[in-house]
Structure 1
Amino acid sequence: MANRVHTSDETSPGLVSTGQVACGTMSRRPVGSSHRTHQDTASPEASRPAPTGFEKSPSAACGPRCPPSSSQRSSVSIEVELDGTLVDRQTAVRDALTALCLAHDFDTVTEQWLRAELVDRANPDNFVRLREVFGLAVSAAQLWREYVDLMAAAVTCRPEVLKGLARLRAAAWTIGIVTNGASDVQRAKIAVTGLARLVDGVAVSGDLEIRKPDQRLYELAASRCGRSLIEGGWMIGDNPAGDVGGGHQAGLRTIWLRGRHWPDELAAPNHVVDDVTDAITILLNETE
């Protein structure tokens, strides 16, 4: 049976989460199998212990239910978050807003307001409010277009991440990105970073005006990868509720990129990693 992987957002730093490409994968081994690495005792934050049952793994990727043979490999799928997982949104936002504020000669108060407004997510309404609050002459639509272009110029995806995704594709993984955010800015980031050529489908919350953890966004991602959530799969992302919680609700196994506060009431992910390349390694090990 086919498998899928999802990563996710123009919210803060997944297909079906980073920041969130969306697709799901069938896992070759059931949760709790001998594939586990060492038990994770580190904290979701520097000062917090990880929730019981977390597994620290060397990479963030998804694996197939059945091991593929060299002659006939069944496709596997993953859903991945975009922002904070595949790309560094925060650095790109910082650089884009620096350029935007310089171009329009915004004063310190205006710049600080805008940075606070866009800290977790950005959409055209932010610039409508900016114009109203500060009485700007430039249109909100123009400011948004400039922001999208500047984000596209500033955002990057590390070469080792692109290489890892290419290895997953070579190992018959189907990869999807699932991300919260405005469609135009999220798709611009996917295009300019080279991610578009490495994924099979993209679902952006702006496409349907729904956001993770809404299962419909995961279903859309899976569908755009030519898959179904019924087949199972993996979700990789940095957002505990949106990526891990949403992935669980969608029936996916999950890999969490440690960093944000972990809610005590949330069920633990299958693996905890410090970098998306670690997740990719986990998934590649599933196909060996």
Structure 2
Amino acid sequence: MWRRADRRGQVERRTRSPPGRSARSAAQTLRDLVQSGLRDREARRPASGLRVTALAACYSGVPDALAELRAAGWRVGIVTNGAAGRQLAKIRRTGLDGMVDGYAISQAEGVRKPAVELFAIAARRCGTDLGEGGWMVGDNLATDIVGARAAGLRGVWVDHGTWPGHDDALADHVVAHVVEGVAVIRNAHP
């Protein structure tokens, strides 16, 4: 299935692949683009229907915090659920692709957080494995923190106040901003 939006935002849904591509080849192309870090000509074309990604930006202080972690020898990765094209566009738009060692996007990999396999894919792309341990900083208790625990990682939950009545006992640490989460990691392992 694929969809196309016209200029008025009306979505046309089709149950066949775009002309000239089978559903399998389109999925494989997307996976190849993600794995190659979007270095080829097709990756430079704007993705349709991704207007929201034009507004994506890193939170204040995140680039510097990630640079500090990497300078201290940490491998930094992204594990994200969502549509591959949209998530990849956000990663590129924010510049995170140059600030991390690897990433795994659920739709491209065919598995979603909290599944351990998605964390394992990201770890491999960062040149490590889950057996070495590590941390997950995330804002979703059900996917980020539960997934981190299942993968043998410690979890820092970024509480934006959107989970009333939450059980923060699932997380090793609770912070209000991702930069505070990076500081937790830095302070735990000087």
- Per the TM superposition, whether the score is higher than 0.5 is yes
CA offsets 1:242-283 (integer angstroms, 9 cap, x no match): 001111011110000113326767852100000001011112
Matches within 5 A, 1:1-288: 104=8, 127-128=11-12, 145-148=47-50, 150-258=51-159, 259-261=161-163, 267-288=169-190
Aligned to 1:146, the other structure's residue is in SS state: coil
Amino acid in structure 2 at the alignment position of 1:221: A
| 8 Å contact kept, 2:141–2:170 | no
| 8 Å contact kept, 1:253–1:270 | yes
Aligned to 2:75, the other structure's residue is in SS state: strand
Aligned to 2:117, the other structure's residue is in SS state: helix
| 8 Å contact kept, 1:205–1:212 | yes
**Which one has more relative contact order, counting CA pairs under 8 Å at least 6 apart?**
1
CA distance in 2, matches of 1:146, 1:208: 21
CA distance in 2, matches of 1:175, 1:128: 39
Structure with the bigger percentage of strand:
2
CA offsets 1:24-79 (integer angstroms, 9 cap, x no match): xxxxxxxxxxxxxxxxxxxxxxxxxxxxxxxxxxxxxxxxxxxxxxxxxxxxxxxx
Q: How many Å apart are 1:208 and its aligned residue?
A: 2.0
CA distance in 2, matches of 1:240, 1:262: 12
Structure 2, unaligned stretches of length 5 or more?
15-45
Please provide the CA RMSD for this pair: 2.5
Aligned to 1:256, the other structure's residue is in SS state: strand
The total of aligned residue pairs comes to 154
Higher gyration radius (CA) = 1
| 8 Å contact kept, 2:135–2:154 | yes
